Chains A and B, each alone.
Chain A
Amino acid sequence: TQLLEQSPQFLSIQEGENLTVYCNSSSVFSSLQWYRQEPGEGPVLLVTVVTGGEVKKLKRLTFQFGDARKDSSLHITAAQPGDTGLYLCAADTSGTYKYIFGTGTRLKVLA
Chain B
Amino acid sequence: EAGVTQFPSHSVIEKGQTVTLRCDPISGHDNLYWYRRVMGKEIKFLLHFVKESKQDESGMPNNRFLAERTGGTYSTLKVQPAELEDSGVYFCASSPLGPPTGELFFGEGSRLTVL
Do they bind each other?
no
Q: Could you tell me which A residues sit within 8 Å of B by CB distance?
A: none
